[in-house]
A and B are shown apart, each in its own frame.
Chain A
Amino acid sequence: DQQVKQNSPSLSVQEGRISILNCDYTNSMFDYFLWYKKYPAEGPTFLISISSIKDKNEDGRFTVFLNKSAKHLSLHIVPSQPGDSAVYFCAASAASGTYKYIFGTGTRLKVLA
């Protein structure tokens, strides 16, 4: 049972344009969501998070949107840069649980120069 899903395995975007990465979840108890970026041979690096009490969180070029009714979140990167090329994972946890984070399968973003 995949509780966190990233249905797009890959995405290509032109440099300077917006990248939109999507994530869906099934567990309504999830209340804390994070996005991670991963380069080859490195561990995932934290990018941005959002609590379920908010519907938007912004940090520089990165914005995360949360739609609780649709159980959907998205990461917007604007403007996209070649250095953003990596695999992006969304993750979710439930405060009512044991704080373990469930990860999606990832989306490989390629930003074309």
Chain B
Amino acid sequence: GAGVSQTPSNKVTEKGKYVELRCDPISGHTALYWYRQSLGQGPEFLIYFQGTGAADDSGLPNDRFFAVRPEGSVSTLKIQRTERGDSAVYLCASSPSQNSPLHFGNGTRLTVT
């Protein structure tokens, strides 16, 4: 079946612009996670949804970052006033329930120039 799909696969934007990153989880998966991975580092937790609600957003670095999952399926990560330090690979993952292995997408590589 289809895995986790992330679009776009690459995004180049100028400093100060707004970007949206999209994640289509595996059908039926109730849990959805966003992570950020910088070069040479492990995935860094950003936010976790259980259904439509954000169960834990403690990893969002500041108020420029926001994520939604309005219908409990597709999620969008939104970054306002992008900075060069936001450049990273943004990974989305879903799982059928809490405390189940995560299934990752291939990520969106964001480059802020």
Contacts and interface: CB of A to CB of B under 8 A. Distances in A.
A93 B99 contact: yes
B31 interface: yes
Nearest to B48: A100
A53 to B, nearest CB: 13
A43 B42 CA distance: 12
Given A42-B106, A46-B103, A95-B99, A103 B33 contact: no
A102 B48 CA distance: 12
B101 A100 contact: no
B98 A43 contact: no
Interface of A: 4, 6, 32, 34, 36, 41-46, 49, 89, 93, 95, 97-106
B101 A43 contact: no
A99 B99 contact: yes
Interface of B: 4, 31, 33, 35, 40-45, 48, 50, 55-56, 58-59, 91, 93, 98-99, 101-107
A103 B104 contact: no
Contact of B104 (A6, A41, A43): A43
B98 A99 contact: yes
Nearest to B56: A98
A32 B99 contact: yes
A14 B98 CA distance: 38
Given A95-B99, A99-B56, 20 more contacts: A4-B42, A6-B42, A34-B101, A34-B102, A36-B104, A41-B106, A42-B106, A43-B105, A45-B104, A46-B101, A49-B101, A89-B42, A93-B99, A97-B56, A98-B48, A99-B48, A99-B98, A100-B45, A100-B58, A103-B42
Chain B CB count within 10 A is highest, among A6, A46, A97, for: A46
Contacts of A98: 48, 55-56
